[in-house]
Structure 1
Amino acid sequence: MTDPAFPDPQRAWAYRPASPLSGAPNGPLAGRTFSVKDLFGVPGWPLRASTRAPVPDPGESVLVRRLLDLGACAVGKTQLHEVALGMTGANGFGGTEHPFLPGHVPGGSSSGAAVSVALGKVSPLKVDFALGTDTGGSIRVPAAWCGVVGLKPGYAHPAWSTQGVLPLSVTCDHAGVLARDVPTVAQVHAALSGETVQPQSWAGVRVAVWLPQGWVDDAVYAAVQAFAEELTALGAARHSTDLPEMLDAYSPIVQSEAAQVHAGALRAAEPGFLPFTLAALRQGAALSAGEVQAARDRREAYRTHLAQIFQAADVILAPAVPTPPPRTGQDEVTLRGGTQVLRRATLRLTAPFSLLGLPTLALPTATPFTGVQLVANVGQDAHLLGLALNAPTYGAVGVGA
């Protein structure tokens, strides 16, 4: 249960104890507070993964324990899209609503995480940063739609352990962080990793802009173009690039691995999942070994394609979302290229960089509740954050911060 002293109209919180878990008093993150997505195991706190179905116990989260040891205080757990298998924030407890646009979705699956930091300045439950997970865009999409910053580190980064986190896909899962500004994200990463994060100049940085015209609406297209022009003004060398849609590799891998995680619940006559979640899990369970292996083979071909792009680029700039936040229950969006199913429209922009494990940062743009992705090559997490410290900065309502 949660502490009734704090209202939660957005239904962002899964569990709020009467007292937070205190961090070490002299650590580098002392005085900082954070929320925990309800996939991370925290002793004494329930773990439901925002579902009414039974879920496995992942044990204690190494990452939460490490943050506590570094001085940060954990104030509670946040809701997510049910078992992290979705992009809107729908779940078995009513779903999470956008922090500033009633009737609109905040994005998912780290929906409550994004809301908890977006509301940090106006909520009595102050949160400086939020732990989230990202399998196909689950940090970056809610960051963009809620106007905050979200970091998906490179795959299996030693500072961002997924041990003690209920998995969705061991191939694509990443642990990461959301905050209202880049300096906070950089501070958390530096404390966890021991890496130095210093502001980096954009002068001479080769930026490959991936902006598929038919995959976004007019507002997002203009926002990404404007952001790219600002990077050019800072000295970056900009050129266009292209990426294929990678969902033919991503979806079979993720759905098959998710079905394995939740195999116990799926054996029940009434598992307890929402209909869409149940259908996706059963679809994953029905995939043959050959189909999954074919998807893995396609993944390696896409990895080769990305490697070729990084031969001519230091950073990729891409849209983080196809449109501003859609309305709750909206299944389709209207893009420059026509009408598209919301899930596909969103995932095809973000899934490539989790499928291939590249460090990626979502930043707000001048257009409210849209966002861009900055993508670096493997092992360049700290450098990416250093560039972001000198990138154009916008607050949650699209005004200069």
Structure 2
Amino acid sequence: MGAIGNDPQRAWAFVAPEPLQGQAGGPLSGLTFSVKDLYGVPGWPLRASTRAPVPDPGQSVLVQRLLELGAAAVGKTHLHEIALGITGLNGFGGTAHPFRPDAVPGGSSSGAAVSVALGQVDFALGTDTGGSIRVPAAWCGVVGFKPIKGHPDWSTEGVLPLSWTCDHAGPLARDVKTVVRVHEALTGAGVAKQAWDGVHVGLWLPEGWTDTTVKEAVLSFAGRLRALGADLAPVHLPEMLDAYSPIVLNEAAQVHADALKQDDPGFLPFTLASLRQGAALSAQEVQRAFDLRADYAALLDGIFTAFDVILAPGVPTPPPLQGQEEVELGEGITPLRRAVLRLTTPFSLLGAPVVAYPTAAPFVGVQLVGRHGEDDRLLGLALGLEESGA
């Protein structure tokens, strides 16, 4: 493993003087992991990368389980402040890209992705509410896994929430093999490598929503799947931010209600404005968002009656520059936050399992989305893809 050193990327929120050692002889013995600073770990601080006060979520069930299975926890990684963002900006200077210092690593699991990309740990614990595992995985060139919502072995108990409707816990690693090893240890069941021959893949590549680099990378990836025997056809999904944003902002405002009683609790301006926006939503506005979510869920379920997997871009462009707020896409200049989230939020809003997988293009990843309840099959397909070398 690579040394953490002086941490020029500002990826680490806390490095333990001595790692928390896992139980000897467990299936994850010999592996090290980092912990996103939303997970409660006894004796370790929890700041959620903000200067504002945050609630104590208690002890993380998932961290404790990983220690029992033999993995060793090295420390805590920084995130986009309270997980409400996709670049890595926070109250402690923000996290930089592991290999492009002027670029963002993605968020909110920014430090998690950096710690893996630099080889400082074998895997990292992240969270994903609207893309927070998948976006940094794509922009840092690593693998991420967002399990199905409520997966019993990827517990969010003892994790500071952003949105209990959309929050997921999951890992990042440099390869699928490591993700599968951790998942197998947690579930106690093997993940069989799956062939792509005969797999029905829905290609979701909305016209104008990416730049040329990403579009070509996704189409090239689709060609790899065809070469392995998959059949592909286009699918269509709408932008779902009209459901996602009210739900997440309203629930986040409830999580941080005590801090919001202060005039200036210490959040960055965008975070504070977003939380106050969420607190101001009426019950009718929030209910309308949940009604839309139900409609979108029915739409996605319908797609999965005809397809086994959805292939989609993980990000709209390669990593943007620090401080960049807009990107140029096929459709024109678009706010960065919207450009990213409309690609990733459908699958956390609706709780589907997703593997974030790198492409041949540097720091451009795709999403492989599976049916509800088919986490193991999806991981098996990703393992088959990785082992094929295609």
TM range (shorter): over 0.9
Partner of 1:65: 64
Partner of 1:397: none
Q: Does 1:130 align with 2:130?
A: no
Q: Does 1:260 align with 2:254?
A: yes
Alignment of 1:34-183 (within 5 A): 34-120=33-119, 126-183=120-177
- The root-mean-square deviation of aligned C-alpha atoms, in Å, is 1.3
Match of 1:186 among 177, 180, 188: 180
Alignment of 1:142-291 (within 5 A): 142-291=136-285
Inter-CA distance 334–392: structure 2 relative to 1 (3 Å threshold) = farther
Alignment of 1:271-350 (within 5 A): 271-350=265-344
Q: Following TM superposition, by how much is the alpha carbon of 1:195 offset from its aligned partner in structure 2, in angstroms?
A: 2.4
Q: Following TM superposition, by how much is the alpha carbon of 1:213 offset from its aligned partner in structure 2, in angstroms?
A: 2.1
8 Å Cα contact 2:14/2:75 also seen in 1: yes
Q: Does 1:12 align with 2:11?
A: yes
8 Å Cα contact 2:176/2:386 also seen in 1: no
What is the number of residues matched between the two proteins? 388
1:163-209, CA deviations, whole angstroms, 9 ceiling, x for partnerless residues? Answer: 00000000000000000000000110111112211110101000000
Instruction: Give the residue type in structure 2 aligned to 1:388.
Output: A
Distance 2:16 2:233 in 1: 50
Instruction: Give the residue type in structure 2 aligned to 1:214.
Output: G
Instruction: Give the residue type in structure 2 aligned to 1:15.
Output: F
Instruction: Give the residue type in structure 2 aligned to 1:46.
Output: P
Instruction: Give the residue type in structure 1 aligned to 2:306.
Output: A
8 Å Cα contact 1:332/1:341 also seen in 2: yes
Q: Following TM superposition, by how much is the alpha carbon of 1:392 offset from its aligned partner in structure 2, in angstroms?
A: 5.2
Inter-CA distance 279–231: structure 2 relative to 1 (3 Å threshold) = same
Runs of 5+ consecutive residues of structure 2 not aligned to the other structure: none
Q: Following TM superposition, by how much is the alpha carbon of 1:391 offset from its aligned partner in structure 2, in angstroms?
A: 1.5
Instruction: Give the residue type in structure 2 aligned to 1:325.
Output: P
Distance 2:206 2:333 in 1: 15
TM (norm. structure 2) is: 0.98
Match of 1:359 among 329, 353, 361: 353
Partner of 2:378: 384
Q: Following TM superposition, by how much is the alpha carbon of 1:102 offset from its aligned partner in structure 2, in angstroms?
A: 1.2
SS at match of 1:19: strand
8 Å Cα contact 2:11/2:96 also seen in 1: yes
Distance 1:327 1:94 in 2: 15
Q: Following TM superposition, by how much is the alpha carbon of 1:6 offset from its aligned partner in structure 2, in angstroms?
A: 2.2
SS at match of 2:20: coil
TM (norm. structure 1) is: 0.95
SS at match of 2:16: coil
8 Å Cα contact 1:17/1:75 also seen in 2: yes
Identity %: 70
SS at match of 1:18: strand
Distance 1:43 1:389 in 2: 34
8 Å Cα contact 2:11/2:115 also seen in 1: yes
**Structure 1 moving runs of 4+ over 3 Å:** none
8 Å Cα contact 1:22/1:73 also seen in 2: yes
